[in-house]
């Protein structure tokens, strides 16, 4: 009897543990929706938010201010997840930017990793402001048209973030200049939304 009991425990316990954690992930590990219907891009380059998990940023025309932040983002967020399908970085850039400086930054980033899924989309300032306004956050664009905050959009163009953040209460965006916030909050949140879509994909495949 003792032998069968031990074998039963060894067989059943892993199954129970799997079901527990799978249920926990499915029910609790979802990044809250903070705003719906973010304005879609109207760009000739073909970059779109729909059907992509997007990290969205606003560069501004003072690239010297944001250059270091881009490299932090590359190391902390982009590189760890760049291999995932349908994951992209999109930075909206005013048409007044110094294109030589932008090219230099893109070249340096490209030396560190493949940035084929990192898009710098040049738009008129009014289009940039329309996208930013549709996020409906408490933040404002800076005078140069950029923002230090970056945002997570899901495949349905919904803004995702935290509604119970221990520091901010509602965390709409992540400070690209704050390495600790990128490492401790944003990286976890990107993991959650990617896991959410992977679980949904597995469920759909299983049902088929």
Smallest CA-to-CA distance from 94 within 127, 62, 122 is with 122
Question: pTM higher than 0.85 for the full model?
Answer: no
d(CA 102, CA 108): 10
Q: Which residues pair with 149 in a beta bridge?
A: 175
Same domain, 16 and 62: no
Same domain, 66 and 133: yes
Residues 195 and 25: beta-carbon distance below 8 Å: yes
Same domain, 23 and 106: no
Same domain, 22 and 38: no
Work out the pLDDT band at 30, boundaries 50, 70, 90.
confident
Q: What's the pLDDT at 50?
A: 95
Same domain, 26 and 37: no
Judged against a pLDDT cut of 80, whether residue 26 lies above it is answered with no
Domain limits at 109? 32-207
Per-residue pLDDT reduced to its tens digit, 78-124: 999 998 989 999 999 999 898 998 999 999 999 989 999 999 999 99
């Amino acid at each position: 009897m003792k032998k069968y009991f031990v074998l039963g425990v060894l067989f059943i316990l892993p199954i129970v543990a799997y079901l527990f954690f799978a249920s926990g992930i499915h029910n609790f590990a979802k990044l809250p929706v903070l705003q719906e219907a973010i304005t879609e891009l109207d760009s000739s380059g073909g970059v779109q938010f729909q059907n992509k998990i997007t990290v969205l940023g606003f560069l501004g025309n003072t690239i010297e201010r944001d250059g270091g932040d881009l490299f932090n983002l590359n190391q902390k967020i982009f590189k760890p997840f760049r291999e995932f399908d349908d994951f992209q970085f999109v930075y909206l850039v005013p048409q007044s930017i110094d294109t030589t400086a932008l090219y230099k930054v893109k070249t340096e980033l490209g030396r560190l990793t493949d940035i084929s899924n990192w898009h710098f989309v040049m738009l008129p300032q009014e289009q940039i402001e329309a996208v930013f306004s549709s996020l409906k956050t408490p933040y404002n664009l800076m005078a140069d048209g950029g923002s230090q905050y970056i945002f997570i959009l899901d495949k349905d163009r919904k803004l995702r973030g935290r509604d119970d953040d221990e520091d901010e209460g509602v965390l709409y965006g992540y400070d690209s200049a704050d390495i600790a916030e990128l490492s401790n909050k944003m990286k976890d949140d990107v993991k959650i939304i990617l896991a959410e879509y992977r679980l949904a994909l597995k469920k759909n495949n299983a049902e088929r």
